[in-house]
Amino acid sequence: MTSIIKLHAISGAMDESPPCYILQVDDFRILLDCGWDENFDQDFMKELRRYIHQIDAVLLSYPDPLHLGALPYLVGKCGLNCSIYATIPVYKMGQMFMYDLYQSRHNMEEFELFTLDDVDAAFDKIIQLKYNQSVPMKGKGYGLTVTPLPAGHMIGGTIWKIVKVGEEDIVYAVDFNHKKERHLNGSELERLQRPSLVITDAFNATYKQTRRRARDEKLMTNILQTLRSNGNVLITVDTAGRVLELAHMLDQLWRNKDSGLLAYSLALLNNVSYNVVEFAKSQIEWMSDKLMRTFEGARNNPFQFKHLQLCHSIAELSRVPSPKVVLASTPDMECGFSRELFLQWSSNPHNSIIITNRTSPGTLARQLIENGGNVPLNLEIRRRVRLEGAELEEYQRKERENKEKSQEKNEDLDMSDESEDEMDSLSSVAKGKHDLLVKAETKVQTGFFKSNKKQYPMFPFFEEKVKFDEYGEIIRPEDYKMVDSNPEAEDNKENVDLKEEEITAADITEVPTKCISVTKTVRVMAQVQYIDFEGRSDGESLQKILEQLHPRRLILVRGTPDSTHAMLNHCRQWNGVRVFAPSRGEVVDATTETYIYQVRLTDALVSALELKKGKEAELAWLDAQIVVRDMSKDAKPVTMDVDDIDKEEEEKGKMEIDQIYTLEPLPLNQVVGHQTAFINELKLSDFRQVLNKNSIPSEFSGGVLWCCNGTIALRRHEAGRVILEGCLSEDYYRVRELLYDQYAIV
Amino acid sequence: MSARKKPDSQVPAEESDLLLIRPLGAGQEVGRSCIMLEFKGKKIMLDCGIHPGLSGMDALPFVDLIEADEIDLLLISHFHLDHCGALPWFLQKTSFKGRCFMTHATKAIYRWLLSDYIKVSNIATEQMLYTEADLESSMDKIETINFHEEKDVFGIKFWAYNAGHVLGAAMFMIEIAGVKILYTGDFSRQEDRHLMAAEIPNVHPDVLITESTYGTHIHEKREERESRFTALVHDIVNRGGRCLIPVFALGRAQELLLILDEYWSQHPELHDIPIYYASSLAKKCMAVYQTYVNAMNDKIRRQIAINNPFVFRHISNLKGIDHFEDIGPCVVMASPGMMQSGLSRELFESWCTDSKNGVIIAGYCVEGTLAKTILSEPEEITTMSGQKLPLKMSVDYISFSAHTDYQQTSEFIRILKPPHVVLVHGEQNEMSRLKAALQREYEDDPSTKMELHNPRNTVAVELYFRGEKTAKVMGTLAMEKPRPGHKLSGILVKRNFNYHMLAACDLSKYTDMTMSQVVQRQSVHYSGALPVLRLLLSQVSGNVEMLEEKKMRVFQSVDITLDNKIVMLEWIATPVNDMYADAVLAAVMQAEILDTTPSFFPIQSKMDRMHFKECLIEMLQEMFGEDSVPKIFKGEKLYVTVDGKKANIDLLNLEVCCEEDEAFQQIVQTAVTKLYQSLAPPRTD
């Protein structure tokens, strides 16, 4: 009956590499996340490829590349072919992340690890779920159910619960955030009671956060100071995850009239910003209670930004008046607009660069966090540029030759023109085959309906309908007022400025281009600051949550060796917990012997039970014996899921018992006495309140609860042992009775 | 300890097998949906609507028949007034303290729909059920549930499926102690422009509570209906007429808007003809429609990536009749849907005399409303001011109402095969026709046993479910394979109708509960001497173990320490040990009041084995005759023979064995044990 449980840490163990694990439950292998680091580590991929065909299901936790970055490659290039599970926002936003990542890379180099088609193919495989929706696995995984639970951190962020009915409940929770944020609820991990196995990261084990208010103030002052000194602020954020929190917060700040920010501009710059915001608007039900309530109450969508302007290219951004605050992807500054802006702005001491996320070691953002600004940096600058002059001619000549050749070929045999096709497809990738790429905002509708303004054939002419009442024409006071306000108040800045011409930069691939690379030493003069907007639980809370969760087994993954060891040592103090901390590539065997079988309870047995109330459950002592009962004697068995499973498992021969036995009460004379069990753990402080309620005076002194003027003492020794001490008196028995009431005694 | 009570004759509600389904509204009627479920001591209310045809307290379902504070859970299927209209009243004005759930979209629209209802009925009736403030504060008590999300409230497990019908409409599957009940609310199995067809649950419910609005009717095909509609609209505007479509502000209106917007974009020649939509409520709620696209069908969800289909290109909002320029052909959608009053009525009255104009009734009409009247094509109609007007404009009826029809219901039931079907939300005749039709369908099918019920309001359907209880035996208890006759004893943990059986030591391993130990130390003054105390203790318990000089143990559980005129008792609390301790205490006190110290102390009484043997032989001779026992024997073995049957007695462990006759063995055994007990000092183990 025992399930084999193994965890293979392919990446993300004892270091800060992205999480990617294979969890094996019996014969069923689940890939938990498949992140890829910023520089697309090939070693890790080599390792993973070896197991690719064994994987039966993939569970994704968050939409960022750290958690699903390798998915397009795995599906497109390695032939991963199995069900992939993710929540709806992870699906939608994940796609945005990958589009943006691809485009950012494509804008600076020949990026061939995966194509946009691979992204689409990978995401088409995703089965979209809601929180708390249980999904039964099929085939080898029969009897397993996976359930996504809210995790905070990013929209749709998931803690996965993998349950083998009655035997194992495995919780995979990484990077979660227990704290409520502006746009997200916190995780409720601690509500899961005693899972048999928890897999969690130790990334933040030794990390302390500043308080939210202090952090927000720091950001605010930084922004204000920079803007006032006429500098620009670059905030590096991700594409569609944490950016929502920042964008929402900043837009709210801008709305505050006293903030003094109205004079400055605020922009969101990434390749898919329009879509990200659109999706965010339609995912209110995944956000915090507070946002939901304001939406239900006032119907204003929190992601209908008033001040944040959406940009899709540097050219668009340049039209946003400076000084400005720009939220740009990617957070690591290895590619994308954040890197371009960094190169542009870092030399000016008035500018400010705010990093919001600790990305992998070695990335530009991480270097800046660790070394601070004002250090010369050797940077490789890669760009995609148009072909010009001789090169262009050369290219065109080749192109012509190719064409001629292919025509010749076509004349010869109408078959293989694959090589050209490949080239063509490469250059046409960004042409608009994928509708989610840069969108030209030709005409932006502000209201929900067609605006009432008509198209006039020649010139605008309004025919006033003259209205009369008994006194003649109705006087409209507005006619005599000074004209000051513009009637269309709903217009948002979001839509301003983007109307006119097509953005040239977007179509860069339509003209022949090449990628160039130069190495340059950059001296960062701008102010560099790291302000934590990661949205992860801090080390102390992590420990508290785990202690509350009290798993039977615990696997610690992802985190520097230091923090992992710190966590490991802490967790080993708890009793009854087996803790593992695998290193990269290691396989942890977390199998434990579990015994379980099912019995039917007779009515006589159930009705004779003396149930005592315990914490959240009722308890009773039971002496009974197993008998065989004819199934048909029982009334129609209610179709329970468990039964169904049992039946099917019977057929499969998986169950070792071929029938369910019945439990009958033991005749009284055969009952052997048993040791009485006191169930519950008493807290002296709680008990003191009980005493107070019964008007028995009590006080604490040196860890001892003294009752009735010091005649009776209550001590609590090691876990679960309470000593009641006192003189013989009536009070003694009263206190004892109250004490007994605190326990379920069976 | 495991003393047991006799099973009560009165079965507690929790153990009862009776499932009650009682409609407090919508039983053989349409409107004020409110159905009570009672099972295993749990009470659930499904929907809490008002009757649109009645006002004030009369419109409420029969909630006076139940105790609001006993209800654990209240589920609202969708935002129509006849399903949620009484909710603010129920949440704010009764003692209800359970939890209330609806889907996100329902909650967002509910707020505005009811606020509109309050405004409208403010004029009509003095005895308002609730105010805007009540509605506002009811919002905090409503929790939201996503489709397919499983919730567990007080052991009631439930989740929602898409029901079609309107945005956010849900069917609820409720599971209590393994019995599953599916409440469909209003549903439609036909996919339309923006809503998906009602999902078919992949689990089979034991009871299906379904609507029966359309009884045995069969709807026209969607494509036909739509093309008939668009052709009609096109025809009316082509002939230079004005087209009036009275609609209810939310729900089906959005579907019509989508159809018209699409039709207009496909027909450029129509671009000059304006479409107006006159409803402030709808405008308010468009944000909700634009947001909760995830509750709609795949088509919409895919489209959202490109543009929001609820941003209409050809439809303008009309704030009121004052803003309307009536200058030529146009299409106007206006509420209310049955033209009782308001904008749709006004427009109708001003247009009805022109035969070029046309009106299209697109929804369900209640008897007595103008919409219902004109369907019979009268010559004249009476205006609001009492004037008579000739009815010349064309009148057409195309139902876009998204309720299930007979075909859909029948298919739905055929797939789910529930053993019990309860019909609600249908007019009496329609309902009985549907019941008869369904009965006929399964008449000749012996493999399907289906019971159909159509309860009237306040009449309960009683169903019995022999809930079978199973327990899981886990941990050390389960290490041994189960076999008949195997005895189990351990702790049974019951949580939300689930039973687990564990060994006491495994408790903390499998649950969050822990075993504790209570140690008691009781002190009492004692001024006497130790030997006296010891004597008396030996009288109570027989065997006194001396642990240290001044510490002894009796009953093998209570430690007694004499220290400086204080006797301290220490023991681990259990009911038995407490009793022992009380006995010891009594002995201590007895010793205290002994005036004179006894001059002699009897030596610890020792079992005299020889004496026991003599007595035994004597007794057996008395019982079975002189010759039954051998006169002389050695060692610790003895036998007794009666009627040729021989019983061997082992004197050391007092075991008797007789292979031939069990009864004889029993008799001898009893005799031996009793004799030993009467001779030996009291045993405490």
Q: What is the pLDDT of residues B381-415, one digit of tens each?
A: 888 888 888 999 999 988 887 889 999 999 999 99
Q: Does B30 have pLDDT greater than 80?
A: yes
Going from the C-alpha of B336 to that of each of A270, B251, B287, B342, B380, the distances in angstroms are: 46, 13, 21, 7, 21
Please state the rounded mean pLDDT for residues A639-646: 43
Mutating which of B15, B270, B294 best tests the A interface, going by the most A Cβ atoms within 10 A?
A: B294
Mutating which of B152, B257, B516, B570 best tests the A interface, going by the most A Cβ atoms within 10 A?
A: B516
Can you read off the two tokens belonging to residue B315?
């439809």
CA atoms A461, A467, A471, A476: torsion sign: negative
- Contact at CB, A728 and B15, closer than 8 angstroms: no
- Contact at CB, B484 and A596, closer than 8 angstroms: no
Q: Complex ipTM above 0.85?
A: no
Q: A544 or B309: which carries more pLDDT confidence? A: A544
Give the CA radius of gyration of chain A.
33
How distant is the Cα of B632 from the closest Cα of chain A, in angstroms? Answer: 37
State the Cα–Cα distance between residues A518 and A521, nearest whole angstrom. Answer: 10
State the Cα–Cα distance between residues B603 and B254, nearest whole angstrom. Answer: 101
- Contact at CB, B522 and A625, closer than 8 angstroms: no
A chain contacts of residue B471, beta-carbon cutoff 8 Å? 598-601, 663
Treating both helix axes as pointing N-terminal to C-terminal, what angle do B222-238 and B252-266 enclose, rounded to 10 degrees? Answer: 60
Length of chain B equals 685
Q: B130-159 b/e with 16+ CB inside 10 Å = b?
A: beeebbeebbebbebbbbbbbbebebbbbb
Q: Which CATH superfamily is domain A5-208+533-587 in?
A: Ribonuclease Z/Hydroxyacylglutathione hydrolase-like (3.60.15.10)
How distant is the Cα of A679 from the closest Cα of chain B, in angstroms? Answer: 5
B chain contacts of residue A604, beta-carbon cutoff 8 Å? 7
- Contact call for residues B442 and B470 (beta carbons, < 8 A): no
Please work out, in degrees rounded to the nearest 5, the angle formed at the alpha carbon of residue B547 by the alpha carbons of B522 and B569.
5
By Cβ distance, the residue of A607, A622, A677 closest to B501 is A622
What does the DSSP 8-state code read for residue B498? Answer: E
- Contact call for residues A238 and A357 (beta carbons, < 8 A): yes
Q: Does A547 have pLDDT greater than 90?
A: no
Task: Give me the helices (H) in B129-221, please.
Answer: 132-138
What confidence category does residue A695 fall into, taking pLDDT thresholds of 50, 70 and 90? confident
**Lowest mean pLDDT, pick from A723-737, B39-53, B458-472:** B458-472
Q: Which residues contact A240 (CB under 8 A, 6 or more apart)?
A: A63, A93, A96, A97, A100, A155, A272, A276, A279, A280
**Lowest mean pLDDT, pick from A446-460, B227-241, B571-585:** A446-460
Residues of chain A with CATH 3.30.310: 678-745
- Contact at CB, B522 and A727, closer than 8 angstroms: yes
How does pLDDT run across B319-375, given as a tens digit for each residue? 777 778 888 899 999 877 778 777 888 889 889 898 999 999 887 776 677 888 888
- Contact at CB, B5 and A736, closer than 8 angstroms: no
| Per-residue pLDDT, A709 | 80
pTM: 0.77
Q: B596 or B452: which carries more pLDDT confidence? A: B452
How many alpha carbons lie under 13 Å from residue B678 in its C-beta half-sphere?
Answer: 10
- Name the phi and psi angles at B621, rounded to 5: -65, -45
- Contact at CB, B488 and A720, closer than 8 angstroms: no
- Choose from A3-12, A426-435, B96-105 the range with maximum mean pLDDT: B96-105
Q: Which residues contact B419 (CB under 8 A, 6 or more apart)?
A: B206, B207, B449, B450, B451
**Lowest mean pLDDT, pick from A88-92, A395-399, B518-522:** A395-399
Fold of A678-745: TATA-Binding Protein (3.30.310)
Q: Does B575 have pLDDT greater than 60?
A: yes
By Cβ distance, the residue of B304, B473, B521 closest to A597 is B473
Please state the rounded mean pLDDT for residues A413-442: 43
How distant is the Cα of B566 from the closest Cα of chain A, in angstroms? Answer: 10
Residues of chain A with CATH 3.40.50.10890: 212-387+518-530
How does pLDDT run across B469-495, given as a tens digit for each residue? 788 888 788 877 777 878 888 888 887
- For A716, which residue in chain B has the nearest alpha carbon? B518
- For A605, which residue in chain B has the nearest alpha carbon? B7
- Contact call for residues B381 and B373 (beta carbons, < 8 A): yes
Q: A363-391 b/e with 16+ CB inside 10 Å = b?
A: bbbbbbbeeebeeebebeebebeeeeeee
Q: Does B500 have pLDDT greater than 50?
A: yes
A chain contacts of residue B39, beta-carbon cutoff 8 Å? none
Q: Does B252 have pLDDT greater than 90?
A: no
- Contact at CB, A285 and B294, closer than 8 angstroms: yes
Q: Which residues contact A413 (CB under 8 A, 6 or more apart)?
A: none
Long-range contacts of B459-462 (CB under 8 A, 24+ apart): B459/B22, B459/B23, B459/B27, B460/B20, B460/B21, B460/B22, B460/B36, B461/B20, B461/B21, B461/B22, B461/B420, B461/B422, B462/B18, B462/B19, B462/B20
Task: Give me the helices (H) in A596-715, please.
Answer: 603-607, 641-652, 684-693
| Per-residue pLDDT, A482 | 62
- Contact at CB, A723 and B314, closer than 8 angstroms: no
Classified as helix, coil or strand, A392 is helix
A chain contacts of residue B147, beta-carbon cutoff 8 Å? 130
- For A643, which residue in chain B has the nearest alpha carbon? B470
A chain contacts of residue B104, beta-carbon cutoff 8 Å? 284-285, 292
What does the DSSP 8-state code read for residue B583? Answer: H
Residues of chain A with CATH 3.60.15.10: 5-208+533-587
State the Cα–Cα distance between residues B199 and B405, nearest whole angstrom. Answer: 15
- Contact at CB, B149 and A636, closer than 8 angstroms: no
| Per-residue pLDDT, A637 | 39
Query: Of the residues B403, B425, B453, B500, which is catalytic?
Result: B403
A chain contacts of residue B467, beta-carbon cutoff 8 Å? 638
State the Cα–Cα distance between residues A178 and A153, nearest whole angstrom. Answer: 8
CATH class held by domain A212-387+518-530: alpha beta
Burial class (CB in 10 A: 0-12, 13-18, 19+), B577: middle
Q: Given the structure tokens 């040592």, which residue do they identify?
A: A569
What confidence category does residue A449 fall into, taking pLDDT thresholds of 50, 70 and 90? low
Q: Does A497 have pLDDT greater than 70?
A: no
- Contact at CB, B468 and A736, closer than 8 angstroms: no
State the Cα–Cα distance between residues A153 and A19, nearest whole angstrom. Answer: 15
Q: Tell me, yes or no, if B403 is annotated catalytic.
A: yes
Helices then strands, counting H and E runs in chain A, come out as 20, 34
| Per-residue pLDDT, B290 | 83
Q: B499 or A267: which carries more pLDDT confidence? A: A267
CA atoms B222, B228, B230, B233: torsion sign: negative
State the Cα–Cα distance between residues B481 and B479, nearest whole angstrom. Answer: 6
Going from the C-alpha of A88 to that of each of A18, A127, A461, B256, the distances in angstroms are: 22, 9, 49, 28
- Contact at CB, A728 and B495, closer than 8 angstroms: no
- Contact at CB, A296 and B107, closer than 8 angstroms: yes
Mutating which of B518, B521, B524, B565 best tests the A interface, going by the most A Cβ atoms within 10 A?
A: B518
- Contact call for residues B241 and B354 (beta carbons, < 8 A): yes
By Cβ distance, the residue of A576, A594, A724 closest to B508 is A576
Which run of H or of E encompasses B619?
helix B609-624
Helices then strands, counting H and E runs in chain B, come out as 17, 33
How distant is the Cα of B564 from the closest Cα of chain A, in angstroms? Answer: 15
Give the CA radius of gyration of chain B.
41
How distant is the Cα of A406 from the closest Cα of chain B, in angstroms? Answer: 36
Q: Does B4 have pLDDT greater than 50?
A: no
E strand residue ranges, A299-368 = 308-311, 324-328, 352-355
Estimate the share of chain B in helix, then strand, then coil, as percent rounded to the nearest 5.
35, 25, 40
Domains of chain B: 13-217+403-464 (3.60.15.10), 222-397 (3.40.50.10890), 471-481+488-510 (no CATH), 519-593 (3.30.310.50), 609-679 (no CATH)
Please state the rounded mean pLDDT for residues A700-706: 84
- A vs B, Cβ pairs < 8 A, gives 328
